[in-house]
Structure 1
Amino acid sequence: MAAPLFAGAIAWGASSTSTFSHASTPAGEVSGISIFVLTITGMIFVGVSGLLVYALVRYRGREGDLMEPPQVFGSVQIELSWTIIPVLIIVVLFLTTARVLFSVQDAPKPASALDVIVVGHQFWWEFRYPQYNVVTANELHVPVSSDATDRPTFMKLTSADVIHSFWVPQLAGKTDLLPNRVNEMWIDPRAPGLYVGQCAQFCGAQHAKMLLRVYVDTPEQFKQWIANQQRMQAEIATPGSSEDAAVRHGDAGNVVHAGASLVARGSSGAVGDAVGYEDSQEISPSAGQYVFEHQACISCHTVAGTVATGRYGPDLTHMMSRATIAAGAAPNTKERLLAWVTDPNQIKPGSLMPAMHLTDRQNEQITAYLLTLK
């Protein structure tokens, strides 16, 4: 009965954020109970509205009616009807909802499941893959599930600050992330592709732009993505500049300096004109990495394989493998990345990432370095 009644509504609501357009078992359960409840409540609406219209027409005042209609005081049949019928409806809805809750929350975890730890921050998402020692941000990658290869993703959710809520309508119902508590949920997407969602709990000034992207990959794509995420980023240095890394790691020794800065080197590896990177006009990844590692950037961000080990902000090790920046607020292009580095508030007002008030040259250098983090 539900399908004919709500086929039009489902077709109209088949969008990336519609609970009727499901692509995962938990979302399918939520969609099914939604249709069932809509069917029951729709029938109640039609029945009550019909009785109301009938009463208004049948017992309307007519010309020449001068007598008061017969007065009926009490009816056992009516009393039983409006007591028993609602009780039965509530019991049916309760049992159906309980069945869905238990089937989703108590689903057995297979040995092939992928484990992901989700941490909500103001205002971005942190994703940890403990089985692979991978950490990323804002864009969750999971493998597709099928009847032949069932590989659901089981997630543990917590918060680093305030209450957040993980919600991707096509994959599952929303689940809150609470400080000092771990909630759990799971998904088993049945079709590869991109599924979008966002934080569904007001968490501060940039709650509306705490967006969420879930990429469902084929087994081969997911394996390749994991391999890339496990790769470390090397310290950028020109040929023969082993001293460069020593300076970055605090082992200055007898390395040549120009003031307090690292010397620039030519392509042959010989010491150049002794121009410090912090004073350099060169827009290059190596100059950008030097500026990045000598500012407060490394206090908040991690770039695996380098001295940047901050945990307050998103992990940037492979940030150019992501399609967006600022938790989905802007596309990850050179122009938008430069704007974000220069002043995050021009893209995401209220962002907790501060503007460092660097020179335009330093912002361009840092951007040049970030563009290499693939």
Structure 2
Amino acid sequence: MSRGKPIGRLFLFFAMFALLLTGCEKPLSNVLDPQGKIGKEQLELINLSVYIMIFVCVIVFAIFFYVLLRFRRKPGDNAIPKQVEGSLMLETLWIVIPIILLVILAIPTVMTTFSQAKEAPKTASEDFIRVKATGHQFWWEFEYPDYKIRTSQELHIPVGKKVYVEVTSDDVVHAFWVPGLAGKVDASPGRINRIPIDADKPGIYKGRCAELCGASHALMNFQVVAEKPSEFEKWAKKRQKPKSEPQTVEAKDGKKVFAQNCMSCHAIDGTKLKMKGDKAPNLTGFAKRNKIGGLLDNNEKNLDRWLKNPEKVKPGTYMPGFSHLNKKDLSSLKTYLKSLK
């Protein structure tokens, strides 16, 4: 008994701590406050199931307390209670009512599941866009087949349009999840799963890997950048014809350093050199991204930290550190990366 109290207090502490943490996320990451039609449809199913469970709990507890009070043993009453062999009406009710409740829940669930699992139309349209999302350890790659562009870590989408996302994996099982927009779907090697997402208003929505996939699973984040259709088209055109050639002497030196150390893994579009590496994130437009490695704010201090020891920032990453570079080469490399707009 003496050991039970500390354990109970510890459990209570962690329960309260977990409850407090549920309020730490920003509104755009709240699964219970979705900012798109798809997420709202899924929230309606959550609410329906919660209402049904509350109804069942109220009925069960009402019967429980009624029986507890009505048929409790009274003082001086030592007689054997009347024995009831069974009631056809009651047995029919507790079979039929659960079936009715399950049907009420099943019909909209099945309809919504099938409607949201549809493939994207094969013909491009102004009403939707198509994206292929590929999970890697520990980063995300996004390909827009209709725009012939490829990017990573930031998924740009136009507000008010449905985005059909085809999700797969290049290595182990991951899961694609944007809490503020829609539910999650597994990213499995050799298999394509589909999920639609959309956003009602511009903003930056946090994305997560929701399947334990290795040492940096918790750090495998990405962002969904929802912007006005005109802004999205402007971004897409810029990505289709990027200007990635360095304009200063230091940036040109940095490009040489990049070519010697990085281009076998990373790709940069819009250069005279064919930098087409596909083992690591595409760095075209790197300077305009909000995050480095999907994790750190994009500034010079964090870029220096990332380049010197990425393993320390994101354990298990395949990217080697560049601590072997002298200060001049490292500075030139950073200057070149910051020029990629």
Under TM normalisation by the shorter chain, which class is it?
Answer: 0.7 to 0.9
2:120 touches 2:130 (CA, 8 Å); kept in 1? no
The answer on 1:325 being equivalent to 2:284 is no
* CA distance in 1 between partners of 2:102 and 2:95 (Å): 11
Q: In structure 1, the residue corresponding to 2:140 is in which secondary structure?
A: strand
1:311 aligns with 2:321: no
Superposition map of 1:134-153 within 5 A: 134-145=149-160, 151-153=161-163
> Which stretch of structure 1 is more off in the superposition, 37-46 or 107-116?
107-116
**Deviation readout 1:198-218 (Å, 9 max, x if unpaired):** 011111111111112111111
Secondary structure of 1:298 counterpart: coil
Aligned partners of 1:19 and 1:30 also within 8 Å: no
CA–CA distance in 2 between the matches of 1:106 and 1:349? 37
In structure 2, the residue corresponding to 1:40 is in which secondary structure? helix
Deviation for aligned residue 1:179: 1.1
Contact 1:157-1:184 at 8 Å conserved across structures: yes
1:17-166 to 2 correspondence within 5 Å?
Answer: 17-106=29-118, 109=121, 111-112=125-126, 113-145=128-160, 151-166=161-176
Query: Given the alignment, which residue of 201, 216, 219 partners 1:209?
Result: 219
Using the alignment, how far apart are the partners of 1:190 and 1:373 within structure 2?
A: 30
Match for residue 306 of structure 2?
A: 340
CA–CA separation in structure 2 for the residues paired with 1:64 and 1:37: 46
What is the root-mean-square deviation of aligned Cα atoms in Å?
2.1
Distance of aligned partners of 1:371 and 1:175 in 2 relative to their CA distance in 1, 3 Å threshold: same
Larger radius of gyration: 1
The alpha-carbon distance between structure 1 residues 115 and 208, as it changes in their structure 2 partners (threshold 3 A), is same
8 Å contact from structure 1 (residues 175, 185) kept in 2: yes
- For residues 281-335 of structure 1, give each alpha carbon's deviation from its aligned partner in whole angstroms, at most 9, with x where no partner exists: xxx322222222112x1111011213422110000111111100112x1111110
Distance 2:198 2:301 in 1: 36
Contact residue 216 and residue 314 of structure 2 kept, 8 A: yes
Opposite residue 331 of structure 1, the aligned amino acid is: D
* Contact 2:199 2:226 (8 Å CA) reproduced: yes
Q: Following the alignment from structure 1 to structure 2, what is the Cα–Cα distance between the partners of residues 75 and 108?
A: 54
Q: Structure 1 360/55 Cα, relative in aligned 2: closer, same or farther at 3 Å? A: farther
Paired with 1:230 and 1:20, the residues of 2 have a C-alpha distance of: 36
Counterparts of 2:80 and 2:223, CA distance in 1: 67
Partner of 2:98, secondary structure, is helix
| CA deviation map 1:171-227 (0-9, x unaligned) | 222111111122222223221111112011111111111112111111221122112
Percent identity between the aligned chains? 34
Compared CA separation, residues 14 and 63, structure 1 to 2 (3 A): farther
3-state DSSP of counterpart to 1:299: coil
CA displacement at 1:234 relative to structure 2? 4.3
Q: 1:127, CA displacement in angstroms?
A: 0.8
- Number of the residue aligned with 2:20: none
Q: TM-score, normalised by structure 1?
A: 0.78
Q: Taking structure 1 as reference, are residues 351 and 23 closer, same or farther at Cα in structure 2, changes over 3 Å only?
A: same
User: TM-score, normalization: structure 2?
Assistant: 0.85
1:291–1:108 distance in 2 versus 1, CA, 3 Å: closer
1:291 matches 2:257: yes
Alpha-carbon offset, residue 97 of structure 1 = 1.0
Please say which of residues 118-127 and 65-74 is displaced more in the overlay: 65-74
Which of 188, 201, 208 is matched with 1:191 structurally? 201
Q: Where does the alignment leave 5 or more consecutive residues of structure 2 unmatched?
A: 1-22
For 1:350, the equivalent position in structure 2 comes to: 316
C-alpha spacing 1:341/1:31, structure 2 compared with 1 (3 Å)? same
Q: 1:294 to 1:107 in 2, by over 3 A?
A: closer
In structure 1, the gaps of 5 or more residues are 1-11, 146-150, 239-264, 266-283
